[in-house]
Amino acid sequence: MEATSFVHCTVLLDEAVDALAIKPDGVYVDCTFGRGGHSRLILSKLSPNGRLIAFDKDLQAIAEATTITDPRFTIVHEGFVTLADSLAKLGVEQIDGVLMDLGVSSPQLDDGSRGFSFRFDAPLDMRMDTTRGMTAAEWLNSAEEKEIAEVVKDYGEERFARQVAAAIVTRRASEPFVTTGELAEVVATAVRTREPGQNPATRTFQAVRIYINRELEELSLVLPQALNLLKPAGRLSVIAFHSLEDRIVKRFMQDAAKGDHLPSRLPVRASEIAQAPLRVIGKPVRASEEEIKQNPRARSAILRIAERTVGPL
């Protein structure tokens, strides 16, 4: 597959890479290669002894990654949920930093054939990795109404989830879903009101995409793996684009940054309490007004940073 020509503006490029506090001879992981913006900047900061391993499910991202001929760079065609196993196969036991740029890339949204967007009438696919798994159409044409309603409500935070699910089941009884346009049209009949400027199908498309790609589940599974792999002083830099992702990241970092909580009257010195394994670095970082002006999709981005301590896991 050839690399695509769709333009991708890497969000919080400098901020996310600076957050890694890169050591020139270090080993780093870009969990979401995308079109390589973060990876290329990381490589520019590494010495000849440094190493970067990147992951991506998307075949178009893999095609783009093959244009990087740097011997310090390795691309892995897997989702980041395989982080620990994939690094073990590469002989990597510890790393100095992990970067995650979550969500869907601009090329995925702007390429109508991928089925991520209601702006194009295209095959209803939505898989980030088109070589495996069930398409959105296959799931919507076979799932029970209750399951569809739960997915749309939980992952899309759609208040009309039950109505959307009922409309989907009614429509597919006479004609199975094939395209994104068909789904958007049916959802529009079930969503009575929507925020100004937002398409009625926005939340449903988000929910189905998250479910099909197991995005939140895989995020919850990879964060502990990253913590286990980080060396002391190693950094975790994560960009989230919606509240469900950010909530998982925030809670993970906060929980890992808490030391042992013992009763206040227990006769234990502070030095005897084990240090927490993670330390949150600074406040969450958001895109500047200038970046948002150049790339409106940066508006919802939020970067959280944490550092591995010497505390036990």
pTM to 2 decimal places: 0.89
Q: Residue 296: left (phi > 0), alpha (psi -120 to 50), or beta?
A: alpha
- Proportion of the chain in helix, strand, coil states, percent, rounded to 5: 45, 15, 40
Give dist(CA 246, CA 151) in Å, integer. Answer: 18
Number of residues written out for the chain: 313
56 a known binding residue? yes
The torsion of the CA quartet 71, 227, 33, 133, rounded to 10 degrees, works out to 120
Please give the pLDDT value at position 263: 55
Backbone angles phi, psi at 34, to 5 degrees: 60, -115
197 a known binding residue? no
Element (DSSP H or E) covering residue 147:
helix 145-156
Give residue 59's identity as a one-letter amino acid code. Answer: L
Give dist(CA 245, CA 224) in Å, integer. Answer: 15
Please give the pLDDT value at position 6: 43
Q: Does 54 have pLDDT greater than 70?
A: yes
Helices 161-174/145-156 angle, 10° precision: 140
Q: How is residue 52 annotated by DSSP?
A: E
Q: Does 280 have pLDDT greater than 50?
A: yes
Please give the pLDDT value at position 1: 36
CATH architecture of 132-212: Orthogonal Bundle (1.10)
Give dist(CA 200, CA 202) in Å, integer. Answer: 6
Residue-by-residue DSSP string for 174-187:
HS---BHHHHHHHH
Element (DSSP H or E) covering residue 75:
strand 73-76
Averaged pLDDT, 17-43: 97
Backbone angles phi, psi at 233, to 5 degrees: 80, 0
Q: What is the CA radius of gyration of the chain?
A: 21
Averaged pLDDT, 271-292: 90
Please give the pLDDT value at position 5: 42
Strands 302-308 and 285-286: antiparallel
Please give the pLDDT value at position 268: 56
Fold held by 13-106+215-308: Rossmann fold (3.40.50)
Q: Does 21 have pLDDT greater than 90?
A: yes
pLDDT band at 4 (very low <50, low <70, confident <90, very high): very low
| Token pair listed for 6 | 């769709």
CB count within 10 Å of CB 80 equals 26
Averaged pLDDT, 185-205: 89
Q: Does 123 have pLDDT greater than 80?
A: yes
Q: What is the pLDDT of residues 67-76, one digit of tens each?
A: 999 999 999 9
CB count within 10 Å of CB 263 equals 6
Averaged pLDDT, 78-103: 96
Averaged pLDDT, 289-298: 92
Burial class (CB in 10 A: 0-12, 13-18, 19+), 272: exposed
pLDDT > 70: percent of the chain = 88
80 a known binding residue? yes
Please give the pLDDT value at position 195: 77
CA nearest to 3, candidates 66, 87, 84: 66
- Average pLDDT of the chain is 90
For the chain, domain boundaries:
13-106+215-308, 132-212
Q: Does 29 have pLDDT greater than 80?
A: yes
Averaged pLDDT, 115-126: 78
242 a known binding residue? no
Residue 286: beta bridge partners? 302
38 a known binding residue? yes
